[in-house]
Amino acid sequence: MNFKHKYVFLFPGLFVLIGILIFPIIFTIRLSLSGWNSYTPEMNFIGITNYIRLFTDDPRFWESFFRLSFLSVTTVILQYIIGFALALIVWREIKFKRFFRVIFLIPMMTTPVIMTVIWRTFFHESLGPVNDLLGNLGVEPILWLSDPVIAKFTVIIVEVWQWTPFMFLLLLAGLLSLPKEPFLAAAIDGASPFRKFVYVTFPLMAPISIGAIIIRLIEASKIMDTVFVLTSGGPGTATETSSFYIYIKGLREFQMGYAATLSFTYLVIMIISLTIIAKVLTKLMIKE
């Protein structure tokens, strides 16, 4: 095809995106080398002081980062298993197939913060239905939001509720686009459903699975809305994720310079670790 036309197609989108992003990125890097805070709100230059502080004297950031890794990896694994199971079930003919498909999709269409507002009343420790129903069964009230360990699981429950549908959608769309021949062959060989899954369905779905997991990991690493409304990072710092910590430093304590340092470091770590995860997953799931 003609050579120059390709730029006419590509450049508007590319340059709009770069145009919007170039300032924030350069600004963040420059800001990270400054001591901008509420006392000296100006772009002075203090070298890598902020970075030294981050790497030697800020365990809270690293804790929030490991917490984030734990939360996002756990939720994505759960979403993948549940989403895949649901997709497999409604892939074949079952009763009320279309009803179930719609129901399974609904949570991803709802606004996370708004649903979290509902979840907060749902898990309310004295006035919420969960503890009340459990209480009827004789279970002691569970401190869904004020126990540091349980609060993490509450966040996971809400995240799984919210985003399993996305995984389900990607996997079901993948299942529906698979070729029919391998399944016919397996049926002729008389393979059991389990063997059919292990030797036919799963390998065929591997590339789609990897794509879905990576996309969900990217989105899950941004967990913020849920935490913000459900627990505000608490109790203490028990559910504080990296984004939330950056938010506190930057827009509550107005240590803009330091927050920029955190942002930039976080971005670099994320890009590197997601690239590694993508490579490892590809190796693990696609054999030969």
Tell me how far, at minimum, the Cβ of 72 lies from other proteins, in Å: 11
Tell me how far, at minimum, the Cβ of 281 lies from other proteins, in Å: 15
Residue 235: both structure tokens together = 């109790």
Tell me how far, at minimum, the Cβ of 179 lies from other proteins, in Å: 11
Decide whether 68 or 151 has the Cβ nearer to other proteins. 68
Decide whether 7 or 55 has the Cβ nearer to other proteins. 7
Decide whether 120 or 235 has the Cβ nearer to other proteins. 120
Decide whether 26 or 184 has the Cβ nearer to other proteins. 26
Tell me how far, at minimum, the Cβ of 245 lies from other proteins, in Å: 9
Distance (Å, whole) CA 29 – CA 155 = 32
Tell me how far, at minimum, the Cβ of 89 lies from other proteins, in Å: 6
Distance (Å, whole) CA 180 – CA 273 = 36
Decide whether 105 or 200 has the Cβ nearer to other proteins. 105
Tell me how far, at minimum, the Cβ of 207 lies from other proteins, in Å: 8
Decide whether 238 or 242 has the Cβ nearer to other proteins. 242
